[in-house]
């Protein structure tokens, strides 16, 4: 029996862990044992705990309760907590998702304990090292024994950084194995799409009609913590809702809520509050998010995951960033990079609303990434 220790800590990691846990439960129960550690990086129930319940992730065996702090303190606390757990559990590998501080801490701790690191969502790059996530993902990739790239672009990035994508077996930290596997988030979107329509009442609750609203999310630190960018984004959303007479639904991450309260221009904030078409709401569940994504006219976001979910549900997407890890969607014309420039955001909305020749190539695999990953874990990590 292969024993893996899976580390989660932030909302998107619960989503990815759900796909892996489900594959283990349904197909590999007799060959893989999973122990889950929640670092506690996200502690608000509607950012993490509710997602664990809703998505059917196995209950974490450990919670490090690290909470919010500086990057250094948060990372350090997770390292200290994980160190003891890895020693005690002695897993065959530590499985990490994505690019958060929980990912970085897991990679540092496991690799120093000579425990193989498995990085899921490897190879993604924004080529902007000012992003905390870029540092996390680069470090994690280079400390991993098995790397699973969701896209061909990810695979190419790893090759460009010196990884041998045809490395001979057996794999080790000095000779890592690299795989192109498709995207776990597609596994989930396929699995939950129908369930979500049955379980969510969000369209009724918010009095929304299909294709008659825009879904927007903002949480990247360089958008929330930079008042100029934050104000430009909110001005553009307000302007789109007024000029196009369309509802904009904006579930606010707690980080963004704090930033809005602290830095949004008072006049603009008052105008948004008086604008009945701007619906600013608390963070919502995964099912509600899927239902909003499926039914939106368009999506405007700085989230990595939502950029892709927009594509899964065939919705155009304005990306509130200057670069993306999912450039295939930009090059294919599904998504447009608009940064945090008011005019560019409005212009991108206009371009996408008038575009009729969208295509949806299979950039993210066939929805069976989790099964592929489990097979490779068994193949390459079992003694």
- How many residues sit close enough to ligand UD1 to count as binding (CB under 6 A)? 19
With binding defined as CB under 6 A, does residue 258 bind ligand UD1?
Answer: yes
Distance between first and last Cα of the chain: 9
Instruction: State how far the alpha carbon of 18 is from the alpha carbons of 14, 120, 137, 186, 283, in Å.
Output: 6, 13, 20, 12, 19
DSSP reduced 3-state for 166? coil
Query: Which one of 99, 134, 288, 309 is in contact with ligand UD1 (CB under 6 A)?
Result: 99
With binding defined as CB under 6 A, does residue 160 bind ligand UD1?
Answer: no
Q: Which stretch binds ligand UD1 (CB under 6 A): 43-51, 56-64, 286-294, 312-320?
A: 43-51
Q: Which stretch binds ligand UD1 (CB under 6 A): 27-35, 201-209, 233-241, 250-258?
A: 250-258
Q: CA angle at residue 121 from 117 to 123, to 5 degrees?
A: 90
CA atoms of 237 and 346, how far apart (whole Å): 8
Query: Quick check: is 219 catalytic?
Result: yes
Residues 47-76 that bind ligand UD1 (CB under 6 A): 47, 68
Q: Which stretch binds ligand UD1 (CB under 6 A): 97-105, 174-182, 322-330, 361-369?
A: 97-105
The pairing of strands 146-149 and 117-120 is parallel
With binding defined as CB under 6 A, does residue 44 bind ligand UD1?
Answer: yes
Which residue number, 10 or 20, has a Cβ lying nearer to ligand UD1? 10
CA torsion sign for 171, 176, 179, 182 is positive
Query: Which one of 16, 142, 180, 219 is in contact with ligand UD1 (CB under 6 A)?
Result: 219
Helix, strand, coil percent content, the chain, rounded in steps of 5: 50, 15, 35
CA atoms of 179 and 154, how far apart (whole Å): 10
With binding defined as CB under 6 A, does residue 6 bind ligand UD1?
Answer: no
Report, as residue numbers or ranges, the catalytic residues.
Answer: 219
Query: In the complex, which residues of this chain contact ligand UD1 (CB under 6 A)?
Result: 10-12, 41-44, 47, 68, 99-101, 132-133, 219, 221, 254-255, 258
């Amino acid at each position: 029996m292969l024993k893996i220790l899976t580390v989660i800590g932030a909302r998107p990691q619960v989503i990815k862990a759900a796909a892996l846990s489900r594959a283990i439960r349904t197909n590999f129960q007799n060959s893989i044992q999973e122990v889950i550690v929640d670092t506690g990086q996200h502690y608000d129930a509607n950012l993490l705990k509710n997602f664990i319940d809703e998505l059917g992730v196995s209950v974490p065996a450990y919670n490090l309760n690290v909470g919010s702090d500086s990057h250094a303190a948060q990372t350090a606390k997770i390292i200290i907590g994980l160190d003891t757990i890895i020693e005690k559990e002695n897993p065959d590998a530590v499985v990490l998702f994505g690019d958060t501080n929980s990912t970085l801490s897991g990679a540092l701790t496991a690799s120093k304990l000579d425990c193989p690191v498995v990085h899921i969502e490897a190879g993604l790059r924004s080529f902007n090292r000012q992003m905390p996530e870029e540092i996390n993902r680069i470090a994690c990739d280079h400390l991993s024994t098995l790397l699973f790239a969701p896209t061909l672009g990810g695979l190419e990035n790893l090759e460009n950084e010196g990884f041998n994508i045809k490395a001979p077996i057996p794999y080790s930290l000095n000779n890592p194995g690299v795989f192109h596997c498709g995207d776990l988030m597609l596994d989930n979107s396929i699995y939950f799409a129908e369930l979500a329509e049955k379980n969510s009442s969000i369209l009724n609750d918010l009095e929304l009609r299909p294709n008659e609203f825009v879904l927007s999310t903002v949480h990247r630190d360089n958008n929330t913590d930079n008042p100029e960018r934050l104000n430009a984004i909110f001005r553009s959303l307000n302007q789109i809702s007024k000029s196009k007479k369309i509802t904009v639904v904006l579930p606010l991450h707690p980080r963004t809520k704090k930033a809005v309260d602290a830095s949004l221009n008072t006049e603009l904030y008052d105008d948004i509050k008086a604008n009945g078409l701007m619906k600013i709401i608390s963070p919502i569940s995964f099912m509600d998010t899927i239902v909003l994504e499926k039914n939106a006219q368009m999506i405007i976001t700085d989230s990595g995951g939502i950029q892709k979910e927009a594509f899964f549900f065939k919705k155009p997407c304005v990306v509130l960033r200057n670069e993306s890890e999912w450039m295939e969607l930009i090059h294919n014309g599904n998504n447009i990079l608009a940064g945090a420039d008011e005019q560019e955001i409005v212009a991108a909305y206009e371009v996408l609303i008038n575009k009729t020749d969208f295509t949806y190539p299979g950039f993210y695999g066939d929805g069976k990434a989790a099964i592929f990953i489990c097979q490779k874990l068994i193949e390459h990590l079992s003694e």
